[in-house]
A and B are shown apart, each in its own frame.
Chain A
Amino acid sequence: MLTLQFIPYGEIESLSSVGRIRKLLNIAKENKIVLLEGRLRKEEEGELIKATMEEINKDFKGIELSVIYPENKKADVFKKMKIGLINVLLGDRQGLTIIGPASVVREIKKDPDKIQLFTEDNNNGNGTKRKRRRKNPS
């Protein structure tokens, strides 16, 4: 059975960088796929990879990570400023971050319009690929 756990941004908003990474990584280590509203800071993404490497052992092989972020290329200056201000005041709630344990998620592919999540089907033991699609949130 595949478990997806949605984390609203509000749940990590008040946490420190270490706290955020710890929370997300702990869920992934429970073999659940994390769907985080918004995204981590860029430096936090790097720290998440570092923390993941520190935890790798015979049971935990690492994570698959993907961040879907709406492009604001067409937005005018006023809209971009508005988005920037909201991000400063409320945190970066735009987009979606997917973190899956490598034992469950084989690969996450993305292009501008959709993401594809390839899972390893361990239950039937034949290692077949299952493909799930999700439209890009914007």
Chain B
Amino acid sequence: MVTIFEKFIKKFLKNLFKKKKHIKLGLYGPPNAGKTTLANKLCEDWLGEDMGKVTNMPHETREIQIKEQVHIKSGNKEISFNLVDTPGIATKIDYEEFLKFGMSEKKAKERAKEATKGVIDAIKWLDNMDAVVVVLDATKDPYSQVNITIIGNLQARNIPVLIVGNKIDLKKSKMKKVEAAFPQYHVVGISAKNGNNIDEFYESLFKVVG
């Protein structure tokens, strides 16, 4: 009796996941790591259009951006997902940082306020994700607490994670350090801007999400 019940539950769960064709794939990471650049690359490759604006100024993405029904293929494999680009997660936001980019004080304060709301939304959205690509800047210290907190929160929620070390086209990038910081995760180095190693990224995505 118990075995029949177990088989029923297994079949039910299997069918449930089969039907869930459009998973939510989140892009998370600290500000200016290249989440939107990667989102744009993904959308350009598979939809032929961009997703969001990219600048050098931190907190350019201050609202959750969603691109629905992205289908990617590799050989016989195919996955479909709704791509969720999130604002960069930070522990501090100072409007004076934006003044350095020539912004007026009023606009800088507005931007800081929007950025704080963006961080809150990004954390709230963690619960909605089915899988997450954590985008890190490979030229920066991977042991930053923001990185560790994001990954720890995903682990606590049993959400599959792919770690991307972005900006490998830059001389300062240190992929080995990124890999050493997260030995228990699948880590891939890319340049979202130039498209370096992007095929390996898609392969890794299939391994983690497919």
Say whether B185 faces chain A, with CB atoms less than 8 Å apart.
no
Could you tell me if B91 and A65 are in contact, using CB atoms closer than 8 angstroms? Answer: yes
| Size category, A interface | 20 to 34
How near does chain A come to B134, taking the closest CB pair, in angstroms? 13
Say whether B143 faces chain A, with CB atoms less than 8 Å apart.
yes
| Size category, B interface | 20 to 34
A-B CB contacts (within 8 Å), total count: 69
**Interface of A (DSSP majority class):** mixed
- Give Cα A56 to B113, complex, Å: 8
From A2-10, A16-24, A74-82, A103-111, give the one contacting chain B.
A103-111
Which of B92, B116, B120, B150 neighbours the largest number of chain A CB atoms within 10 Å of its CB? Answer: B92
- Give Cα A42 to B158, complex, Å: 12
Residues from chain B with a CB closer than 8 A to the CB of A47 are 123
User: B136-176 CB contact bits vs A (8 Å, 1 = yes)?
Assistant: 00000101011011101101100000000000000000000
User: A16-56 CB contact bits vs B (8 Å, 1 = yes)?
Assistant: 00000000000000000000000001110111011011101
- 14 A-B contacts, Cβ less than 8 Å apart? A46-B149, A49-B89, A50-B119, A52-B92, A53-B93, A56-B92, A61-B94, A63-B92, A67-B145, A102-B91, A102-B92, A108-B145, A109-B143, A111-B143
Interfacial residues, chain A to chain B (CB-CB below 8 A): 41-43, 45-47, 49-50, 52-54, 56, 61-67, 102, 108-111
